[in-house]
């Protein structure tokens, strides 16, 4: 059986239940050479998301450099989401304490070192506000050729989730998103258009719970917690926003994709943070993103359950 070369990867996010699940899937797949984890402020403060990142790494046995990211967006005022992820940013099941310390330097420096030292371009998986990635592009334009692509969760071409027009990750730092979408780098965009269809249903939680490993025990409870907020909004299951940014790299065949020129609105009382699609080239630009528009939900759920099942260590 031919073994595909591992994809060099940096995980940047604001764990966050769905970030945590995305990272758990990425590590389980065995398809990525995860070079670093960097944290951003979003779901919770940078201190909380960084502590959560270390605890997720301890849970799944991901032993890679972790660095704290920018403590606030580039320009706009900080914003968190305790209503969705709780005061800790990762409320719900108990998690192990960190197994190691963060790096003595920040996320941008760690990202730059990984890119500089890599013999091949590195894929960035961004599942939070894009502050770190934008700061990296501003501080180290010479490293752009070392970024293979950015697979990101963010935006919604038809609607938002934090305002009618804007999805949370973009709204928290719209200037950062604008820098990333105008960077010319290949972008795989998992917006609400697909992530709200990538639902994990209560029966899927049960399939994970039956696995009985230390990781599956936590994952089904993360799903349950995340579902509680979304059930009240009428969702049939837990929307796997951030996992889409990983699963699209692993299983592109499960998704319907469409290239599009996406503009980021950074001003306005009602539409700040909107991801505005130019489907017909009215803006005169070539597409800057491959947008995920649909997903085979059943197959997505099966793959997610199978990946979690790769964690075998049974809770003592």
- Show which residues are catalytic: 241
At 176, list the tokens. Answer: 């950062």
Residues 122-141 that bind Ca ion (CB under 5 A): 127-128
> Of these, 8, 10, 18, 194, which contacts ligand RIB (CB under 6 A)?
18
> What x/- string results for residues 108 through 137 when contact with ligand RIB is judged by CB under 6 A?
-------------------xx---------
Q: Is the peptide bond before 16 cis (omega within 30 degrees of 0)?
A: yes
> Of these, 12, 19, 193, 265, which contacts ligand RIB (CB under 6 A)?
19
The gap between the terminal CA atoms of the chain, to the nearest Å, is: 35
Nearer to Ca ion, 92 or 211 (CB): 92
Q: What span, in angstroms and rounded, lies between the C-alpha atoms of 136 and 38?
A: 12
Distances (CA, A) of 227 to 88, 199, 201: 17, 10, 9
- The nearest distance, CB 43 to ligand RIB, in angstroms, is 5
Nearer to ligand RIB, 14 or 217 (CB): 14
173 binds Ca ion (CB under 5 A): no
Sort strands 255-264 and 275-278 into parallel, antiparallel or unpaired.
antiparallel
> How many other C-beta atoms lie within 10 A of the C-beta of residue 188?
22
76 binds ligand RIB (CB under 6 A): no
Count of residues that bind ligand RIB according to CB under 6 A = 15
12 binds ligand RIB (CB under 6 A): no
288 binds ligand RIB (CB under 6 A): no
Q: Residue 168 binds what, of Ca ion, ligand RIB, none (CB under 5 to 8 Å, by partner type)?
A: ligand RIB
Nearer to ligand RIB, 241 or 303 (CB): 241
Say how far residue 44 (Cα) sits from the centre of its chain: 14
Count of residues that bind Ca ion according to CB under 5 A = 6
Burial grade of 278 (CB within 10 A; 0-12, 13-18, 19 or more): middle
Residue with tokens 């630009």: 285
29 binds Ca ion (CB under 5 A): no
Residues 240-269 that bind ligand RIB (CB under 6 A): 241-242
Say how far residue 161 (Cα) sits from the centre of its chain: 16
Stretch that binds ligand RIB, among 25-33, 113-121, 167-175, 259-267 (CB under 6 A): 167-175
197 binds ligand RIB (CB under 6 A): no
167 binds Ca ion (CB under 5 A): no
169 binds ligand RIB (CB under 6 A): yes
Stretch that binds ligand RIB, among 14-22, 47-55, 272-280, 285-293 (CB under 6 A): 14-22
Q: What does the binding site for Ca ion look like in residue numbers (CB under 5 A)?
A: 14, 16, 19, 127-128, 242
Q: What does the binding site for ligand RIB look like in residue numbers (CB under 6 A)?
A: 14, 16, 18-19, 42-43, 127-128, 153, 161, 167-169, 241-242
């Amino acid at each position: 059986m031919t073994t595909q070369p591992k994809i060099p990867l940096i995980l940047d996010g604001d764990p966050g239940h769905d970030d945590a699940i995305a990272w758990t899937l990425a590590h389980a797949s065995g398809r990525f050479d995860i070079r670093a984890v960097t944290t951003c402020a979003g779901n919770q403060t940078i201190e909380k998301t960084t502590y959560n990142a270390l605890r997720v790494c301890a849970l799944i046995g991901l032993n890679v450099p972790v660095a704290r990211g920018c403590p606030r967006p580039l320009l706009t005022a900080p914003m968190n989401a305790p209503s969705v992820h709780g005061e800790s940013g990762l409320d719900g099941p108990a998690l192990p304490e960190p197994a190691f310390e963060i790096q003595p330097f920040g996320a941008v420096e760690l990202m730059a070192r990984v890119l500089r030292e890599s013999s091949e371009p590195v894929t960035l998986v961004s599942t939070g506000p894009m502050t770190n990635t934008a700061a990296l592009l501003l501080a180290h334009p010479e490293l752009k050729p070392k970024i293979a692509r950015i697979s990101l969760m963010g935006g919604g071409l038809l609607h938002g989730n934090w305002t009618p027009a804007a999805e949370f990750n973009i709204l928290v730092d719209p200037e950062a998103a604008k820098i990333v979408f105008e960077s010319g780098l290949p972008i795989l965009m998992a917006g609400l258009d697909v992530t709200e269809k990538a639902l994990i249903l209560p029966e899927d939680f049960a399939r994970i719970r039956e696995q009985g490993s230390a990781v599956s025990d936590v994952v089904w409870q993360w799903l349950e917690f995340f579902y509680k907020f979304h059930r009240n909004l009428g969702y049939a299951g837990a929307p796997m926003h951030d996992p889409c940014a990983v699963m699209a790299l692993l299983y592109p065949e499960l998704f319907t994709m469409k290239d599009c020129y996406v503009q980021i609105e950074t001003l306005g009382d009602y539409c700040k943070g909107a991801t505005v699609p130019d489907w017909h080239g009215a803006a005169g630009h070539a597409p800057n993103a491959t947008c995920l528009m649909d997903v085979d939900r059943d197959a997505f759920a099966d793959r997610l359950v199978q990946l979690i099942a790769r964690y075998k260590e049974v809770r003592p």
